[in-house]
Amino acid sequence: MALTVAQCRTAFADLVDASKFLPFLNQASERLMQSGLWGGLFAIVDFDSSEGSIALPWQYESVLGCTIRRVPRPIFGGFHEFLESGPGFLEDGEMGVWNMLVDEGQWPTQVGQITPQLIRLTISNALDAAKVVRVFGYNDDGPIYDSTGVPGISLTLANPIVTSSVEMIVTAVNKVATLGTVTLSSVDGATVTPLSVYQPPETNPQYRRYKTGTIQASDNGYPVIRAKCKRRFIPYVNESDQVYPSNLGALKFGVMAMNFEQSAAASEVAAAETFWGKAEQLLNQQLRHQRGGAHFPIDIPQDGQSINSW
């Protein structure tokens, strides 16, 4: 069952003061999401093609498994290109189909830049005009600073667009919560290239990107790349926000643990650790039930071949 902030508020009303409820719920949820691969924390994300790399939607933090043209393929970490036995540097868009994903880490835009260009912000809701977005980056002269010597430049959103006066490659973006989306684009003369569409809750955008090689969209209607992704923790703001992991008992123990952690007493810190352990026990029980009769495949080599045993 999916849980909302409102449902958790009602269930935990006798455990925590109303002023502390949302901060405690956010901290408990984040720690539990990072403590294991629990049920409900995964989703399938499809990509119809790739121009050399893919970027996960903002609500996902990593790929746990993938298929390319319906065949399972390996995922390599960020050091793969730097290992002595590795492939060396893999150029985006120039290596054909690599049949693997290579982690490129976190980036502030969904599409990468090659050369410094002017930056344009476009809003979808006129009520977001006058809000300020801070953009950080560098150009051929080095890091970008404003007129006071502070890193980055501030762009005041206008309806519908505002364009920077300096060219840059974007390294970070700080925006306030908005009512509509904000599209960040690079501008080169008459050519405008969208780099990211920031959702209203995003304030410090970060996207996990993976190198893939150039893969054209041609697989008889099937997604060219299908990725099993883990959800990213996103702080809860609204009463209707869905809470993860959706296990009322585990979240309850997490909120209780947060209560104990506010004390400096060693005995209460120890009690908090006990509650965290109980929360993980409940999540493990839920995971076993959700798994049902499924078993993990075991590859057993025989006579130079591999078979699946279930």
Look at the chain and report how many structural domains it folds into.
3
Q: 129 and 199: one domain?
A: yes
Distance separating alpha carbons of residues 120 and 105, to the nearest angstrom: 24
> How far apart, in Å, are the Cα atoms of 17 and each of 1, 25, 280?
25, 12, 24
In the numeric block, which tokens belong to residue 268? 């209460």
Residue 215: the pLDDT is: 85
Q: 60 and 76: one domain?
A: yes
Domain assignment present for residue 301? The answer is: no
**Is 102 exposed, middle or buried (CB count within 10 Å of its CB: 0-12, 13-18, 19+)?**
buried
Backbone angles phi, psi at 301, to 5 degrees: -65, 135
Contacts of 179 by beta carbon, 8 Å cutoff, 6+ apart: 125, 127, 128, 200
Domain assignment present for residue 123? The answer is: yes
Q: 131 and 268: one domain?
A: no
Q: 50 and 190: one domain?
A: no
Domain assignment present for residue 299? The answer is: no
Q: What are the tens digits of pLDDT across the range 155-213?
A: 999 999 999 999 999 999 999 999 999 999 999 999 999 999 999 999 999 999 999 98
Find the domain containing 136 and state its range: 117-205
Domain assignment present for residue 239? The answer is: no
Domain assignment present for residue 95? The answer is: yes
> Please, what are the averages of pLDDT over each run of 10 residues along the chain (310 residues)?
92 91 96 94 92 92 94 92 87 71 94 94 97 97 95 96 96 96 96 96 94 83 92 94 95 93 76 93 91 69 46
Domain assignment present for residue 302? The answer is: no
Q: 76 and 87: one domain?
A: yes
Residue 264: the pLDDT is: 64
Enumerate the β-bridge partners of residue 43. Answer: 229
Q: 78 and 226: one domain?
A: yes
Distance separating alpha carbons of residues 199 and 237, to the nearest angstrom: 14
Predicted model pTM: 0.85
Q: 102 and 57: one domain?
A: yes
Contacts of 13 by beta carbon, 8 Å cutoff, 6+ apart: none
